[in-house]
């Protein structure tokens, strides 16, 4: 019950940014065809692009396809499962130096994999494709900077 109260307190204290982010995701999905903030805004895929599709493929038993979509699919799924558990059972561990080092290591790993994926896949290998329906893409077309 304490975890639920902490979560509810967080939501109540931060309801304006939470509602704003949810509204932006809905608008981005309607306008740009994606709820990804980075891709909807710039048209460029984010470091996590493809994670959801990869996890769904893995859950269906297609690990090879999952790895091709996003090589860190297993880590994304693990974080989504482990982080809520830690927040619920051991909230103090989130403030430890070890947790910060692990978190930073995960971020660096995702950025390194992102750099490789961008170098080898962008802009023609899904999910590392340019989204011309993004806000930036639409503005550039309106101002005739791109065709």
pLDDT value, residue 61: 94
User: 139: domain range?
Assistant: 1-44+130-147
- Our count of domains for the chain comes to 2
pLDDT higher than 90, residue 138: no
From 2-16, 22-36, 56-70, the region with the lowest mean pLDDT: 2-16
Residues 30 and 71 in one domain: no
Residues 140 and 108 in one domain: no
Residues 31 and 61 in one domain: no
| Distance (Å) of CA 136 to CA 8, 33, 36 | 35, 14, 14
**In the predicted model, what is the mean pLDDT of residues 88-103?**
86
Residues 54 and 109 in one domain: yes
Residues 55 and 107 in one domain: yes
pLDDT value, residue 115: 95
Percent of the chain topping pLDDT 70? 97
Name the packing angle between helices 15-32 and 135-142 (round to 10°).
50
Residues 37 and 73 in one domain: no
Q: Are 43 and 132 in contact (CB under 8 A)?
A: yes
Which residues lie closer than 8 Å to 94 by C-beta, 6 or more apart? Answer: 86, 87
Residues 37 and 59 in one domain: no
Residues 66 and 120 in one domain: yes
Question: Which two structure tokens, joined as six digits, stand for 81?
Answer: 């499962």
pLDDT higher than 60, residue 11: yes
């Amino acid at each position: 019950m304490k975890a639920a109260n902490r979560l509810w307190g967080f939501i109540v204290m931060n309801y304006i940014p939470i509602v704003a982010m949810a509204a932006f995701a809905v608008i981005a999905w309607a306008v740009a065809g994606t709820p990804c903030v980075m891709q909807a805004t710039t048209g460029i895929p984010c470091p996590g692009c493809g994670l959801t599709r990869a996890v769904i493929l893995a859950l269906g038993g297609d690990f090879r396809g999952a790895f091709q979509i996003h090589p860190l699919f297993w880590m994304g799924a693990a974080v989504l499962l482990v982080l809520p558990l830690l927040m619920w059972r051991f909230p103090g561990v989130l403030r430890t130096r070890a947790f910060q080092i692990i978190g930073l290591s995960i971020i660096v790993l995702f950025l390194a994999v992102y750099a490789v994926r961008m170098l080898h896949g962008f802009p023609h290998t899904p999910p590392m494709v340019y989204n011309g329906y993004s806000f930036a893409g639409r503005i550039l077309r309106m101002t005739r900077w791109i065709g």
